[in-house]
Every structure is written in C-alpha cells, then in structure tokens.
Structure 1
C-alpha cells in the first residue's frame, strides 16, 4: 500500500473534522476521496491533510472540489507539499448561492495527482528518476563542465550544510541558529522591521526544497517554518523567482521563476498581516522569466532582464526589457525607456538607491558581464556608468545590497568557470569601485545566494539607514549548497 495523507474538512468548530474516504474506483495515478456533508454549506471550511506525503512526487498536488446536487462542480483550492491546508470562504462563492441554505447534502471531493506507488522495484525506479532528473536539469550555471562531477560527489558527502550554531553576541560575523535546508536560487525579503521571509529554492541534486517557506525573526535570531492560508492555489516550488515586500500594503509579491522545464509568469501575493496567499489574474502581457530582477518603486514592481524559454530546439533567450506591474489595477505594462540600455541578460543584480536603479553584471550564454548601468526611475532613462577604479570581474548569480545612501556592496557570484568569494563596494558619488577585504565576510565561494540590508523596512517617520547585512544560502557550483545565515555589521566593514 503506497503512503498517502489523510484528508479532512472542518465545517464547524464545535464538531470534529470529517475525514474523506477513498473511492474504490480510484487508480494509482489519480486517487479520489470524498465526503458527503449536510446542507447548508458553511460560511467557512478548513481543508487540511495529516500524515505521510512521501508517496507524492515533488509536483504532486491535491485538487479540492465542492458540489451541491443539481449544480456544477467547483474547484475551491489546492494543497501541495508546501501548503497542506487552506481556508475556504463562502463569500467568494457567488455561483452557489442556492447551496447556502435548505436541506439535503453537499459533497467535498479531493483528487490526488502525482502519486508515486512504492513497490518492490523501488531501487530501479529511483535510478530512473535520477536519470530523468539529470536530463531535465536546466537551472545550472552557464558553461558548467562535466569534469566537476567527482568534486560534486565528494563535497556533497561532506555535510557542511547540515550543522548550524547560534550566533554569538557582539562584533563580527556569525551564524544564526535555524533549520532551512541548504539551497540556492531562492528569494529573501523583509516582512516587517524584525522579520525576513525565505521562499523557494533548490538544494542537493537539484531537488526543489520541500521546506520552501521560512520566517526569520531578526531580533531573536531564530528561524521558524511559515504556515499560510490560501485563496486558491499557492506558488509552486520554483527557483530564479523574486519576492518583494511593500511596507505600505504589508504584502509580498512573488513573480516568475522556473521549475525544470516549466516557466512561470504568475504573480502571487502574500498578505503578511493575515498570512494568506492570493493568486493574481493580471491583465497585460509579461513573458515567463527566471533569474530576473524586481524592484519596488512608488508602489509598482519594476522587472528587468531574466531568461525565458524558446521553442525546442532553440536555446533559452535573455531579456533586455523593462516590465512594470501595477498592483492597484493588477496590470502589466511596458514603459517607454530612453537612453542606452544594457544588453540582454539574466542573473544580474539590481540595487535601488532613492530613485536610481544600478544594474550590474549578469550573463547571456556564453558571455558574463561586469558592466554597470544606471536606470533613473523618474525619467525612465538608462545610461552606462563610467566607473573609476578596478571593476569587479564578470559574474552572475551574485547579489547587491545598499550599505549607505550612496554606496552598495556586491559579493560572490559565478564567473562562468567557478564560484567567487570576493567583495566590492561602489560609491555612486565618486563612481568608484573599491575592493573590500574583511575577516567578517564569508570566505566560502558562493553563487545563487540572497543578501539583504537590515533593517529592511523603513520605520514610521524614520530614514532607512542600513546597519547590517544578512546573507543566506547559495552554492559553490560543485554540488555544495549552504544553509548558513550570516549577519554583518556594516559599520565594521566600512571605512568611513
């Protein structure tokens, strides 16, 4: 018997939840469960699962439907490995007004898709699964050669990303105690002045992380998994996506990304007050993008670059376009952009200082860039920055963060051959790059990590003055994925 979760629906807090029963006609490919309940349809229903999800593939899901006799079947939500419960409200169920009163029954049914049976031939199935996974890998660094396979296996066995220690108080860098698994290609963003949210990513053997969403309390220095409700679907597992927090609306906007050969151009909104997901049916056109940049300016999201799919056998392409998402009207549009814009790229960094967006590096196979461009978001005009000092070497999958009103820092990345661990600071007044060497900076080469300035949210009536840097995760492109969380005091690494 293959492991399957137990499925429940709670209609009345004064009564126990009802367990759905498996239908005898269910096949192994799509298991069906159902429960008959008494009308009227309640104003709210909590749908949840208990038990073992290991029998489902990583993209497995549970589709939940509701039916009143004589009316159409309506899908009310989806459960996945990442979100195993959701709250449904009748207020959004305009088509079923006739089912909110009267006598009789209504039914809740659930269909499990992606079931993987456990049989005596499981070792062979595992080998086939790994072979198929290897063939489908597309979220790998550019120009990655096959000669690094042995190193990948040796480092994967070292277990460096499993042990975490508490960060000691005082000066210097340290590691925060926590539990997120090692990963890269994830997204990290603030949720308030004391909270940072981690979403998605890939880990060992390019598997998408099942523990996809975590919350870091920056005051207590502790991670905890996030449980969020959903109106409908939640974001699928993915990598190369972006997550941006709007302090005015207390919302996190997740956009794009990819999953093996699947690409996304969807927008999901997380209300950080109610901790509830909502999927947006946006107007306008935006292509599916991964490893793009996304910045919030005056309440709108500015997306630049990224890699997008082309019909087989053409190689994936990179974008040089700007797309803007207006959350108020839930519409995408393209602005008129003046000036000398950068070449198409993905895996670049974009750092916003006031209204100036600085775009550095990135790649469009087989070329890695180390040029710097400025986009004035007031005039929507691009210009190439003529820099002083020695520019950082070409790289992609690095990260950038502001360290003052006129300076930002970049660290690490991948240059097309190896992961990097160097650090540079750019002064926007003098237009000068400066190499930064300090004992508190991470020494392990890493790419695909995330870096934030703390505090990440402006206080009431206060200027946003970054005092710390937060770095999480990443990988060395040799098979090692990091799960360390490092905090750096900006005052210690800057020479003012």
Structure 2
C-alpha cells in the first residue's frame, strides 16, 4: 500500500482534493459542503492496500457520506475499481432537507482488513519517489493559505496625514486610478497536495501559494531592478476607510475583504467587499443570512477553505465585546452561517489564522482577563476542525515565542513563519518558525539586518520562498519600509520601493496569482490601514517586487550615502 492516496473531485472548476487519513478511526476522510454537489468523483493513486489475511491486493474500501445522523452509501473501491462516480438523487435531497442545520457533510473511506495501528502503508516521501518511478505519478504536497491578521493600533499624538480624523487613531484614506495587470509567482513543481492551476483567468490558488524549492524558470534573468508601487484606487464604489479588517483570495481569483473599523471608532458597516485584481474594481455582494446574525467586528481572521468554498471568520472584538464564534461565508451563494462547534472555543482578537490540512490553526492574539488584570496576550496554539466541528489543542514542543498579538504568520510549505507583534508596551522583531508537521517551535539564526520591532504590519508569501513585510507600528509611529525574508537563506533584506504608500499599520496585503504578462516579478495588492494619527485609508496600491530587487542600502550607497 506504499504511496496509496485518495482524491476527491466535487467541482469541475476546482482541482482534486486529497483525502486525509484519520488516526482515530480506520478511514480516509474529507468534507463536502451542504447542499451536496450533484456529482462527486473519488479515485485512488498508488499501490492498493493488501489484505492482512490473504496478503493479496483484495482489500475493499467502503465509501459513505455522513450527513447529520444519516449515512448515504457512496460505493466501494478495490484493486480493479479504482474510481467511482456518485450522483445526487431525490432521496439525497430529502435527507439534506431533514438536516438543514448541517453545514458540512463528511465523506469517509473505510479500510477493511488492514492493521490500523500500522501507518506504514501511508505515503511517505521515500515511498512517493518509488511510486513516481514505477507509475509515473507526480508527487504533490499540500497548499495552505496564509493569513496575517491586522489589529487596531494604540493612539499616537502627532503625525500629519490626509483624510478624516478618528478619535482612536486609526486610518482611512483616498481613492485612486488605473494600473497594469497583476503578476504573481509561477506554480513550482511538486508543491501542493491539492494541485493548483495558476493563471490570470482561472486560478485556484488561495491567498498566498505555499512555496517549496526554487524553480530555475523563475530565477531572475537580469540584474537587480527597482520595486515599484502605484496607487490604483478607483473612486466608486469602494469600501469605506478602515483598518483591523481581514482579506483573503478565493477560488475565482477574487479577493474578499471582511470587517474592520473606521472613523470615530465606528465598525465598518459595509463589511464585505470583493475585488477583481485585473480591473481593480470593488463590488459589494448581496448577502443572505441563515440563523444568527454575524456581528460587525475588527481584529478577526478571515480564512478561505477551497474544499468547502467558504470563508471562516473567527474571533475579533467589537468595542468592549470579545468574540470566540466561528462564522462561515459561502462564497458561491454569499450566505452567512454560524458554525456550531463542540469543545471550548478560545476568545481571541488580533491573532493569526492558518488553514493547514483542512484545519484552522490559531496562534497568539489578545484575550480578555478579569479585573484587576488587564487584557493579556497568548502564545498558545488552538486548532478548529470543521470536519469534526470541534476545538482542540495540539502537543507543542520547542521554544515558544513570547505571548503577542498583531503579529504575522506566513505559511510556506510545512513551515509557519511568525514575525513581530506586540504585548504592550513591548514590540517584537523576532522571528520564529513552527514546523506544522511536528508542531515544534524553533528560533533560527538569521542573516542581515532584521526590520525594526513592529506590530500590525502587512505580510504575504512571495515566490522563491520569500516573505514580504510592509509597514506596521513600532510603539510610537506608523512605518512605511519594506522588507523581505528569504526562508531558504534565513536572511533579511530591506528593499527600495518607488512610490511607496504613506506610513500605515493595520492594513492588508495579498500576493496575486502568477501572470504570464510579467515573468520577473511578483505583484502585491495593499489595501487600507491607518497612520496612527486619526486618519484611515481606503486606497488600493499595486506593489511590483522583482525576483531580484534593488536593496535600500545599495541605492543609498550609489547616491553617495544620501538616502
């Protein structure tokens, strides 16, 4: 059973999704959105499992879909039947109606006649290499979107900026114009467990693709080039000025903006917007609600799940109210739904959320503590499983980062890179890496000059295993510098940007999918934020970063030491 894998195809416009092996029960599983798709295809790859008694490849795999308390027979797989197709029937629609409160169904593939305590038959890197040689099947590694969660900033006394004023020192801003086409990293080979197709018109990447080894095709072919930034805002319609919101990419190459806070500490009532990166146009979708209303908030996280085609919005705060709820926004029907969960949910705001192996990993953030203690920061990891509909805490090893909020967490392959944040009055500029497979923390030795301490900066993954850090708040002022961390080299560099946005924090950044229009740079979209002096922004910038950018210190040196 070496290298055996199962894949699910529920939408012809989306790539197949690999099923996950459950350590608690003898099955592979995945989840399906409700209403169920009209057609579902399940297929297997690799050597079929052997029966323990006969030692022959005759093991049967029974497939079923669990919908609430009901079980729907899907079919069975064996050595000769490697693929099955299931179609929705009237009886299935009746079961959906009877389980209308259920948001996700579970597809389970039970493995009969196998020693379930022995996971040696599951795919390992060495086994996958053997399967590639024998069956010419390409190895794939899982992709997870990264999300950095912006947060509100403490008030600062002076700094002159444009736009309207706010009593709490948060930003808002202007409008802009047109711009050139988006660019993005190209798909590197052997990168995703869920295959991704990069392209401008049809892109299934979510947020920032998870990168692995550098592909020579996208290495810079020229000398260093200057990074350029343009204001590409349009006048209307557009979101109101805000910070403390969250933004993520979804399946149809659209960005979705959720929540935030603007002038006079007012939460943004135009809470949800979509952005077309090609045309730079915003749209406010018409939303419907199922059950409890989703309250306006800031400091929350919004994470896209490509399997369920929904955005999970978790936590955040509203004035003095703190949230621990999880809401699901269906991006096909634009419908809100409260997710009912088991287990104790943590109360968090200004945390980071990362989707990894179909689960939502929460790190850090602020949580309320009773008097006389002030609100505190966390350095714990909590995991929400949409399949099991529960919360749990993993066993964590290594040297944990100090408690913090307003940090960034960027996933590259199986490594979650955490940078910065603060636990008032201390700001951090340290960098930690969490191995998501072993849940082990480490603090690597880094080269180069790290960015100054900051929180509520914007961050996203770039091509060639690089991470962008822009702006933020250092405890006194908003910042406007741009840095890149190279994960392969464990090195920092500060890059020079022409036309850089004004200093800001609590803003969002997303690296756009790769485009053939420009093969030598990444394009990052930056939206909103605040200057910590009562001004909020709603401007939109396009930041183009070459694969080999001109560094800030190099440019200063060329100008004779004058910045």
Shift of residue 385 of structure 1? Answer: 1.8
- Report the alpha carbon displacement of residue 405 of structure 1 after superposing the two structures with TM: 3.6
* TM-score between both structures, scaled by the size of structure 1: 0.66
Pairing of 1:192-231 with structure 2 (within 5 A): 192-231=251-290
Q: CA RMSD in A?
A: 2.7
Distance 1:231 1:92, change over 3 A: farther
CA drift at 1:93: 7.7
Asked if residue 156 in structure 1 is aligned to residue 165 in structure 2, the reply is yes
Most deviating of 222-231 and 408-417: 222-231
1:16-165 equivalences under 5 Å are 141-142=153-154, 144=155, 147-148=157-158, 156=165, 163-165=174-176
- 2:434 is the alignment partner of 1:423: no
| Partner Cα separation in structure 1 for residue 164 and residue 365 of structure 2 | 30
Q: Secondary structure at the match of 1:289?
A: coil
User: CA separation in 1, counterparts of 2:161 and 2:176?
Assistant: 25
CA contact (8 A) 2:164 2:263 kept: no
Paired residue for 1:494, among 527, 541, 549?
549
Asked if 1:296 corresponds to 2:355, the answer is: yes
Deviation at 1:413, TM superposition (A): 0.3
CA distance in 2, matches of 1:152, 1:220: 28
1:329 aligns with 2:388: yes
What is the TM-score with the length of structure 2 in the denominator?
Answer: 0.59
Structure-2 separation of matches of 1:140 and 1:406 = 29
Specify the alignment match of 1:111 in structure 2: none
1:406–1:428 Cα contact (<8 Å) kept: yes
Q: Distance in 1 between matches of 2:464 and 2:396?
A: 25
Alignment of 1:219-298 (within 5 A): 219-298=278-357
Deviations 1:304-332 (A, max 9, x none): 00000011332000001000111111111
Cross-structure match for 2:511: 453
Q: Deviations over 1:428-480 (max 9, x none)?
A: 111110011110432x1100001111129x9xxxxxx9932111100000001
Q: The residue matched to 1:290 in structure 2 has which SS?
A: coil
Is 1:469 the equivalent of 2:524? yes
Contact 2:152 2:244 in 1 (8 A): no
| 2:79 counterpart residue number | none
Q: Distance in 2 between matches of 1:181 and 1:373?
A: 35
Give the Å deviation of 1:404.
Answer: 1.3
Compute the displacement of 1:219 (Å): 2.4
1:455 touches 1:466 (CA, 8 Å); kept in 2?
no
1 or 2, which has the higher strand percentage? Answer: 1
Q: Which residue is equivalent to 2:539? A: 484
- In structure 2, the CA distance between the partners of 1:184 and 1:276, relative to structure 1 (3 Å rule), is same
Q: Deviations over 1:132-177 (max 9, x none)?
A: xxxxxxx8534x35x44x96899639xx956423223368523132
Q: Which ranges of structure 2 fall in alignment gaps of 5 or more residues?
A: 1-95, 102-150, 182-227, 552-563
Q: How many corresponding residue pairs?
A: 351
Q: Deviations over 1:20-44 (max 9, x none)?
A: xxxxxxxxxxxxxxxxxxxxxxxxx
Deviation at 1:492, TM superposition (A): 7.2
For the Cα contact (< 8 Å) 1:453–1:466, is it kept in 2?
Answer: no
DSSP-derived class of the 1:484 partner: strand
State the shift of 1:190 in Å.
1.2
CA distance in 2, matches of 1:359, 1:407: 13
- In 1, the alpha carbon distance for the partners of 2:510 and 2:286 equals 23
8 A contact 1:153–1:479 mirrored in 2 = no
SS at match of 1:227: coil
- The higher relative CO (CA closer than 8 Å, separation ≥ 6) is in 2
